[in-house]
Amino acid sequence: MNTRRIRLRSTFLVLAGACLVAACTVGPDYKRPATATATTYKELEGSGWKNAQPADTQIRGAWWEVYDDPALNALEQQVASANQNVQAAQARFRAARAQVAQFRSQFFPVVTASGGYSRARSSENVKFKSSAGRTLDDWIVGADATWEPDLWGRVSRSVEGAKASAQASAADAQSALLSMQAELATDYYELRGIDRERQLLDDTISAYKEAVELTQNRYKGGIATDADVAQAQTQLRTTQAQSIDLGVQRAQLEHAIAILIGQTPSTFSVPVAPLVAVPVIAPVGVPSALLERRPDIAAAERHVVDLNAQIGVATAAYFPNLILSVTGGLEATNFSQWLLAPSRFWSLGPTLAGTLLDFGARAAQKAQAEANYDEGVAQYRQTVLTAFGQVEDNIAALRVLEQEAQAQDDAVSAAQRSLAIVTNRYKNGAITYLDVVVAQTTALTNERDAVSIARRRMAASVALVKALGGGWDASALPTDEQLTHPDAGRQPASAPDATPS
């Protein structure tokens, strides 16, 4: 009897070992899809800029520090730990990482245990049953183990896809963080631009008050009409209204910044400080490097890996499944005999099961997986093209706005000279005040346009940094070790609290 048991166990172990040796992985192995690229950016031509070389300084980590603004630095440091969109994205990554462990568990046997006690009486009217009319106890404890060897790579492909999906989720989390950081910087400089514009209007209001006083004195002296006074007062009141109106935009931007750093608008404020920053031109690099520097591109590429693995999962469904099972335990009707050797029971054996006919279900599932892969490849390539376009857009914006700013500065200087000339002519009685109003309006419009261009240049500078990936690199994606062990490379790292100064 013992020899027979040994043979059964040996046969079981040999069969399990053979399954491991014979296992193979069906389905296509992943190859990164080819994408359109170029050797340089079109909009760099004639701009005076150059592609960054490997030795050039690259934007790394806290990219906003290149603007040398302590208040912005303090705000940006709060985004990673306090922005709720970022927190949600990082939670999605942790969920995806947990799914990797879920799929990996299928490599190993499932072991269950149970135990119980029951007392039952059998009917006396049951013929040919030795227990008829008897009351019996039943003590039982046992364990079951089942294992499905990954013969065709279904589990391997599932784990491969889950890892890629988790990496895509990590890249999505980084993309969300970069988006929130860029949005904060854009809102911040828009607010500073409004502060600069309000400063301009307030200075203009002071000048217009002097103009009102001038026209009133001239009217009292009989050398000006009451129309001159009315026109001067209209200019003053109109400009005061424009200054007040900027308060709405500033409040909205302040509220938006509060939300981005996880604070309630009612408890947050940004001190007034006019825009003085100048746009920073980020090291652009070559287009091919963008594939490794944009988290959204990395996410799209990892998604393709996942979809490729799903083709393997669908292919494995064509092959039969082998399940090895073992059951054993102790059972007795008397507690005193329960734990003795004669109470033992066991069974072991393999089960082979496969689908013979499904009327095209598996073929349709594989065709669906292949179509999903083709869609993922197209989306990946579209993401790459969109990224190239965004870089080109913002390089062009910075180049054109730089030229526009120079022309606008000349226009401001000319308008100010014109206003000074017209004002002197009015004081000498050579022209009416209407000419002064026209010159004042022209000068103020040009000065406000100059501020608007400065705001747009800062927005384009931030947008270019974002389009280049904000210093991120694909090497920052979580490794297999970090995905396999939940405590490795845990995200997010906490950021220190800070408030604007």
> Residue 133's pLDDT is what?
63
**Residues lower than pLDDT 70 in the chain:** 1-23, 46-60, 126-133, 486-501
- How far is the C-alpha of 323 from the C-alpha of 147, rounded, in Å? 6
H helix or E strand, kind and range, residue 111: strand 110-121
Contacts of 198 (CB under 8 A, 6+ apart): 243, 246, 250, 272
Other beta carbons less than 10 A from residue 210's beta carbon:
11
> Residue 500's pLDDT is what?
36
∠77-79-80 over CA atoms, to 5°?
90
Could you please report the per-residue DSSP string of 95-108?
A: HHHHHHHHHHGGGS
> Residue 126's pLDDT is what?
67
SS3 120: strand
b/e 185-207 (16+ beta carbons within 10 angstroms → b) = bbbbbbbbbbbbbbbbbeebbeb
∠198-202-205 over CA atoms, to 5°?
135
Other beta carbons less than 10 A from residue 57's beta carbon:
8
All domains in the chain, ordered by first residue: 1-25+109-149+322-353 (2.20.200.10), 31-107+152-319+360-484 (1.20.1600.10)
> Residue 17's pLDDT is what?
52
Contacts of 478 (CB under 8 A, 6+ apart): 97, 166, 167, 170, 489
| Strand 344-353 with 135-147, pairing | unpaired
> Residue 347's pLDDT is what?
93
SS3 353: strand
Q: What is the DSSP letter of 421?
A: H
Angle between helix 361-427 and helix 433-467 axes, rounded to 10 deg: 150
Q: Terminus-to-terminus CA distance in the chain, angstroms?
A: 85
> Residue 165's pLDDT is what?
96
- pTM assigned to the model: 0.85
